[in-house]
Amino acid sequence: MDNKALDEFWRETSSGKGPIIDFQGNMGYSLLSEEGILFIRNDFTAPNYEYFELVFGDLFLPDSAQELLFKDKVMLLMVYRKGMQNLLLSELSVDVKFMLDLPHGQYFFFVFLLDAGAESLLNSTIHAIGFPSNQHLNSPELETFYLKHPVDIWEFVDPAHIEIKRGGPFHINLIMVNIEQIPGCSLLFSELLQEDESTPSL
Protein backbone atom coordinates (compact mmCIF):
# COMPACT_ATOMS: atom_id res chain seq x y z
CA MET A 1 0.00 0.00 0.00
CA ASP A 2 1.39 3.38 -1.03
CA ASN A 3 2.63 5.51 1.88
CA LYS A 4 1.14 8.65 0.36
CA ALA A 5 -2.30 7.03 0.28
CA LEU A 6 -1.87 5.82 3.86
CA ASP A 7 -0.90 9.32 4.99
CA GLU A 8 -4.00 10.79 3.38
CA PHE A 9 -6.14 8.11 5.00
CA TRP A 10 -4.57 8.86 8.40
CA ARG A 11 -5.19 12.60 8.04
CA GLU A 12 -8.84 11.96 7.29
CA THR A 13 -9.05 9.53 10.21
CA SER A 14 -7.56 12.07 12.61
CA SER A 15 -10.22 14.53 11.43
CA GLY A 16 -13.00 12.08 12.28
CA LYS A 17 -14.36 11.85 8.72
CA GLY A 18 -14.80 8.06 8.67
CA PRO A 19 -12.45 7.20 5.78
CA ILE A 20 -11.98 3.80 4.12
CA ILE A 21 -8.94 2.64 2.16
CA ASP A 22 -8.16 -0.58 0.29
CA PHE A 23 -4.86 -2.23 -0.67
CA GLN A 24 -4.73 -0.36 -3.99
CA GLY A 25 -4.94 2.97 -2.16
CA ASN A 26 -8.54 3.72 -3.21
CA MET A 27 -10.28 5.89 -0.62
CA GLY A 28 -13.93 6.30 0.26
CA TYR A 29 -16.11 7.14 3.23
CA SER A 30 -18.49 5.10 5.34
CA LEU A 31 -22.16 5.96 5.61
CA LEU A 32 -24.31 5.92 8.74
CA SER A 33 -27.80 4.52 8.14
CA GLU A 34 -31.00 5.73 9.77
CA GLU A 35 -30.86 2.60 11.94
CA GLY A 36 -27.47 3.70 13.30
CA ILE A 37 -25.44 1.07 11.40
CA LEU A 38 -22.17 2.12 9.77
CA PHE A 39 -22.03 0.87 6.17
CA ILE A 40 -18.42 0.31 5.11
CA ARG A 41 -18.12 0.39 1.33
CA ASN A 42 -15.49 -1.89 -0.17
CA ASP A 43 -13.89 -2.38 -3.57
CA PHE A 44 -12.85 -5.99 -3.13
CA THR A 45 -12.44 -7.32 -6.65
CA ALA A 46 -14.51 -10.36 -7.55
CA PRO A 47 -15.54 -12.12 -10.76
CA ASN A 48 -19.00 -11.25 -12.05
CA TYR A 49 -20.29 -14.68 -11.12
CA GLU A 50 -19.16 -14.43 -7.48
CA TYR A 51 -21.83 -13.90 -4.85
CA PHE A 52 -21.70 -11.38 -2.00
CA GLU A 53 -23.05 -11.62 1.55
CA LEU A 54 -23.90 -9.02 4.16
CA VAL A 55 -21.65 -9.09 7.23
CA PHE A 56 -22.66 -7.26 10.42
CA GLY A 57 -20.15 -6.52 13.17
CA ASP A 58 -20.14 -5.39 16.78
CA LEU A 59 -17.57 -4.80 19.53
CA PHE A 60 -17.22 -5.91 23.13
CA LEU A 61 -15.01 -3.69 25.31
CA PRO A 62 -14.05 -4.94 28.78
CA ASP A 63 -13.29 -2.28 31.40
CA SER A 64 -9.56 -2.54 30.73
CA ALA A 65 -10.16 -1.56 27.10
CA GLN A 66 -12.85 1.04 27.84
CA GLU A 67 -10.48 3.02 30.05
CA LEU A 68 -8.25 3.62 27.03
CA LEU A 69 -11.05 5.39 25.14
CA PHE A 70 -10.89 8.44 27.40
CA LYS A 71 -7.55 9.36 25.84
CA ASP A 72 -6.82 10.57 22.31
CA LYS A 73 -7.46 7.35 20.39
CA VAL A 74 -8.82 6.19 17.05
CA MET A 75 -10.34 2.80 16.24
CA LEU A 76 -9.71 1.07 12.91
CA LEU A 77 -11.25 -2.06 11.42
CA MET A 78 -9.03 -4.24 9.22
CA VAL A 79 -10.55 -6.86 6.93
CA TYR A 80 -8.14 -9.14 5.08
CA ARG A 81 -9.22 -11.71 2.48
CA LYS A 82 -7.09 -14.82 2.88
CA GLY A 83 -5.04 -15.81 -0.15
CA MET A 84 -5.69 -12.61 -2.12
CA GLN A 85 -4.35 -9.05 -2.27
CA ASN A 86 -7.50 -7.69 -0.66
CA LEU A 87 -7.13 -5.51 2.43
CA LEU A 88 -9.53 -2.94 3.81
CA LEU A 89 -9.03 -0.37 6.58
CA SER A 90 -11.90 1.69 7.95
CA GLU A 91 -12.43 4.01 10.88
CA LEU A 92 -14.94 2.75 13.46
CA SER A 93 -16.96 4.30 16.24
CA VAL A 94 -17.01 2.33 19.46
CA ASP A 95 -20.78 2.63 19.96
CA VAL A 96 -21.87 1.97 16.36
CA LYS A 97 -22.39 -1.41 14.70
CA PHE A 98 -20.93 -1.84 11.24
CA MET A 99 -21.92 -3.63 8.04
CA LEU A 100 -20.01 -4.77 4.94
CA ASP A 101 -20.97 -6.48 1.69
CA LEU A 102 -18.24 -9.07 1.02
CA PRO A 103 -17.68 -11.57 -1.80
CA HIS A 104 -17.52 -15.21 -0.77
CA GLY A 105 -14.13 -16.11 0.68
CA GLN A 106 -12.10 -16.58 3.86
CA TYR A 107 -11.47 -13.46 5.93
CA PHE A 108 -9.59 -12.24 8.97
CA PHE A 109 -11.20 -9.43 10.97
CA PHE A 110 -9.30 -7.21 13.44
CA VAL A 111 -9.92 -3.90 15.21
CA PHE A 112 -7.04 -1.67 16.35
CA LEU A 113 -7.14 1.01 19.04
CA LEU A 114 -4.41 3.51 18.09
CA ASP A 115 -2.98 6.87 19.11
CA ALA A 116 -4.90 9.48 17.12
CA GLY A 117 -2.15 12.05 17.59
CA ALA A 118 0.60 10.04 15.87
CA GLU A 119 2.24 11.55 12.78
CA SER A 120 1.36 8.53 10.65
CA LEU A 121 -0.58 5.30 10.83
CA LEU A 122 2.56 3.18 10.79
CA ASN A 123 4.03 5.18 13.69
CA SER A 124 0.93 4.93 15.83
CA THR A 125 1.09 2.80 18.97
CA ILE A 126 -1.39 -0.07 19.22
CA HIS A 127 -3.09 -0.10 22.64
CA ALA A 128 -5.68 -2.81 22.05
CA ILE A 129 -6.63 -5.29 19.36
CA GLY A 130 -10.07 -6.70 18.69
CA PHE A 131 -10.28 -10.37 17.72
CA PRO A 132 -13.35 -12.36 16.62
CA SER A 133 -15.12 -13.74 19.67
CA ASN A 134 -17.05 -16.97 19.96
CA GLN A 135 -19.32 -15.48 22.64
CA HIS A 136 -22.29 -13.13 22.40
CA LEU A 137 -21.42 -9.53 23.13
CA ASN A 138 -22.60 -7.44 26.09
CA SER A 139 -22.58 -10.49 28.31
CA PRO A 140 -22.25 -9.69 32.06
CA GLU A 141 -20.83 -13.17 32.58
CA LEU A 142 -18.09 -12.54 30.02
CA GLU A 143 -17.22 -9.16 31.53
CA THR A 144 -17.00 -10.59 35.06
CA PHE A 145 -14.83 -13.48 33.88
CA TYR A 146 -12.48 -11.12 32.05
CA LEU A 147 -12.02 -8.87 35.09
CA LYS A 148 -11.13 -11.84 37.30
CA HIS A 149 -9.02 -13.76 34.76
CA PRO A 150 -7.78 -11.33 32.06
CA VAL A 151 -5.33 -13.74 30.44
CA ASP A 152 -8.05 -16.39 30.09
CA ILE A 153 -9.93 -14.10 27.72
CA TRP A 154 -8.41 -16.22 24.95
CA GLU A 155 -10.97 -18.87 25.85
CA PHE A 156 -13.54 -16.52 24.32
CA VAL A 157 -11.51 -15.68 21.19
CA ASP A 158 -11.71 -17.65 17.95
CA PRO A 159 -8.49 -16.86 16.03
CA ALA A 160 -9.41 -18.80 12.90
CA HIS A 161 -10.41 -17.11 9.67
CA ILE A 162 -14.13 -16.70 9.02
CA GLU A 163 -15.58 -18.19 5.86
CA ILE A 164 -18.15 -15.98 4.18
CA LYS A 165 -20.30 -18.22 2.00
CA ARG A 166 -23.86 -18.68 0.82
CA GLY A 167 -26.38 -18.46 3.64
CA GLY A 168 -25.79 -14.96 5.04
CA PRO A 169 -26.12 -12.49 6.57
CA PHE A 170 -23.20 -13.16 8.91
CA HIS A 171 -22.64 -11.61 12.35
CA ILE A 172 -19.07 -11.01 13.56
CA ASN A 173 -18.43 -10.26 17.23
CA LEU A 174 -15.03 -8.75 18.09
CA ILE A 175 -13.63 -8.51 21.61
CA MET A 176 -11.05 -5.83 22.42
CA VAL A 177 -7.96 -7.02 24.26
CA ASN A 178 -5.66 -4.56 26.06
CA ILE A 179 -2.14 -5.56 24.98
CA GLU A 180 -0.59 -3.97 28.08
CA GLN A 181 -2.44 -6.47 30.26
CA ILE A 182 -2.03 -9.35 27.84
CA PRO A 183 1.46 -9.23 26.27
CA GLY A 184 0.74 -12.19 24.00
CA CYS A 185 -1.94 -10.25 22.15
CA SER A 186 0.23 -8.63 19.50
CA LEU A 187 2.22 -11.85 19.08
CA LEU A 188 -0.95 -13.78 18.35
CA PHE A 189 -1.88 -11.21 15.73
CA SER A 190 1.48 -11.70 14.01
CA GLU A 191 1.08 -15.46 14.03
CA LEU A 192 -2.31 -15.19 12.42
CA LEU A 193 -1.04 -13.15 9.50
CA GLN A 194 2.06 -15.30 9.03
CA GLU A 195 -0.15 -18.30 8.26
CA ASP A 196 -0.81 -16.81 4.83
CA GLU A 197 2.30 -16.12 2.73
CA SER A 198 0.40 -13.69 0.48
CA THR A 199 -0.45 -11.31 3.30
CA PRO A 200 0.16 -7.80 1.94
CA SER A 201 2.57 -5.55 3.80
CA LEU A 202 1.49 -2.09 4.85
pLDDT tens-digit readout, 4-57? 888 898 888 876 678 898 888 888 888 888 888 888 877 655 556 678 888 998
Measured at the alpha carbon of residue 32, what is the angle toward residues 46 and 18, in degrees to the nearest 5?
Answer: 75
pLDDT confidence bin for 193, thresholds 50/70/90: very low
Burial 39-67 (b: 16+ CB within 10 A, else e): ebebebebeeeeeebebebbbbbbebbee
Q: Which H or E element spans position 24?
A: none
| Separation between Cα atoms, residue 198 and residue 24, nearest integer Å | 15
Which 3 state secondary structure label does DSSP give 80?
strand
Q: What is the pLDDT of residue 146?
A: 63
Contacts of 140 (CB under 8 A, 6+ apart): none
Summarize the confidence of residues 63-80 as an average pLDDT. Answer: 79
Contact between residue 162 and residue 82 where contact means Cβ atoms under 8 Å apart:
no
Q: How far is CA 80 from the centre of its chain?
A: 9
* Max Cα–Cα distance, the chain, nearest Å: 50
Q: What is the pLDDT of residue 99?
A: 92
For the chain, give every domain's residue range.
3-194
On the question of a cis peptide bond just before residue 62, with omega within 30 degrees of 0, the verdict is: no
Amino acid identity, position 38: L
The number of residues making up the chain comes to: 202
Give residue-wise pLDDT tens across range 84-137: 777 889 998 877 889 998 888 899 899 988 888 888 887 888 888 888 877 554
Q: Please tell me the pTM assigned to this model.
A: 0.80
Backbone angles phi and psi of 179, in degrees to 5: -75, -15
Q: What is the pLDDT of residue 22?
A: 86
Q: How high does pLDDT run on average in the chain? A: 76
Which 3 state secondary structure label does DSSP give 5?
helix
